[in-house]
Amino acid sequence: MDIKALLPRHHVLLHLATAPRRELLRQLAAPLVEDGLVTDLERFLDDLERREDQITTQIRKDIALPHTRSECVRRLAFCAGVADGDGLLYDPASGPHCRVLFLIAVPAMAPTAHLALLQHLVHFATDHRRLLKLAAAATPAQVISLLAAYKGPK
């Protein structure tokens, strides 16, 4: 998995602040819109919300992986977000606060394009120490380096 090709520095958002879920998703999606990877922000956000309404993508107390297939996604893309302190409330039903969010945009014409990326990120997050290091990263370059250095389960 070539994380560096999929995650430029400006796709890493540090110091996310508590906001309603749609606003968090808007913040995370903004770089994808700026780069022309998502062509319609509101439609993309609607698609993300529909996906979240089916079942939350918060997989543990400290990580969420919002993702959706959408007609307004030009190619597979993602952004990483890291919250300050104890994290932020992503899904009230899931309980504790989230520290790390990975937003994945999947083109409708390639509905399985994200599976390897999703698997990589989930496996990365299974080690709580790795996730804590990522949550403590001071720069986007550190986030990218930690994700890129991980080569998958042994």
Residue 86 is predicted with a pLDDT of 81
Whether pTM exceeds 0.85: yes
Report if residue 152 sits inside a domain. no
Determine contact, residues 48/28, Cβ cutoff 8 Å: no
The pairing of beta strand 12-16 with beta strand 67-70: unpaired
Question: How many structural domains comprise the chain?
Answer: 1
| Range of the structural domain that residue 50 is part of | 3-146
Residue 87 is predicted with a pLDDT of 85
Residue-wise pLDDT tens digits, 90-124: 887 766 688 999 999 999 999 889 999 999 999 99
Q: Which H or E element spans position 51?
A: helix 41-54
| Dihedral over Cα of 40, 68, 136, 11: its sign | negative
Confidence category of residue 71, pLDDT binned at 50, 70, 90: very high
Residue-wise pLDDT tens digits, 13-60: 999 988 888 999 999 999 999 999 999 999 999 999 999 999 989 987
Report if residue 44 sits inside a domain. yes
Report if residue 78 sits inside a domain. yes
Report if residue 11 sits inside a domain. yes
Report if residue 153 sits inside a domain. no
Query: What's the DSSP call for residue 61?
Result: T
* Locus of tokens 């540090």: 14
Residue 154 is predicted with a pLDDT of 67
- Name beta bridge partners: 14: 82
Q: By three-state DSSP, how is residue 43 classified?
A: helix
Q: Does pLDDT of 78 surpass 70?
A: yes
Domain at 138, CATH number? 3.40.930.10
Report if residue 56 sits inside a domain. yes
